[in-house]
Amino acid sequence: MTKKKKWWVPYFNRVIDFVFTSFCPICEGKVFKDGYSYVCEECLDTLNWVRGTRCKLCGIPMAGIDFNGITCANCRKENLLFEEGRCMFVLEEKARGLIHDIKYHGARMILRDMPGWMERSHGFIEYLEGKVLVPVPLHRRKLGKRGYNQSEWIAHAFCKAVGSNVKVINALKRKKNTPTQTELDRSQRKANVKNAFALRRKDHLSKEDNIMLIDDVFTTGATLNACTQVLKDDGFQKISIATLGHG
């Protein structure tokens, strides 16, 4: 159900834009053109939103009929430990610019559009309901340098868009200051994140919790799988994942 838009929001957003001049991360035009959406609605229309049949583990769109969940060729090659996964859109060039602005430019304002994104991602709200959202952590050195963890921002944006019955817990820590995965192949990614994570706030989780790991993108699943391994090793069984993009 679409929520009624508040009359004062456009005025508030225009003040923000006046103070912090920003540009749409896709077309580089004016933000809040309609008064509500940071990213142009027309630009959002051009993204490859995931709808219909998808891989049950990574969420990438697939052709065919989904009876009890189908798995893509890439996920079939991997020993993925989480039970289920979803993403909101496929990472084509325009979507990459959007993710890049959040991740490297600290454009958290983009995530204020999350309720509208949920409307474009059928079933995503229901998928998140009842979950404990656990962001993929950054190493303390990278966090200190960047000043924020984009996965934590995304988790809180998900939580706010869904409302009740969802919470965010920073339950994991990154023990190793691993190099970026961007330029690594599949096998290198696995080796890079092996034993890189550990539980940080075990006492804040229950073995009965439906844990959902949150990250910005799904590429091979190596990072999310390494996080899942840590949770599995400590007896947690109900683990799924959610990301903004796939690619």
Cβ atoms of 103 and 95 within 8 Å: the answer is no
The model's pTM is 0.88
Looking at domain 35-246, its CATH architecture is 3-Layer(aba) Sandwich (3.40)
Going residue by residue through the chain, which has 247 residues, state the pLDDT in tens, using 9 for 90 and above.
Answer: 455 666 555 544 545 544 445 788 889 888 877 667 889 999 999 999 999 899 999 999 998 776 667 999 999 999 999 999 999 999 999 999 999 999 999 999 899 999 999 999 989 999 999 999 999 999 999 999 999 999 999 999 999 999 889 999 999 999 988 877 777 777 888 887 888 999 986 668 898 999 999 999 999 999 999 999 999 999 999 999 999 999 8
> What tokens were used for 94?
């325009």
Residue 85 amino acid letter: G
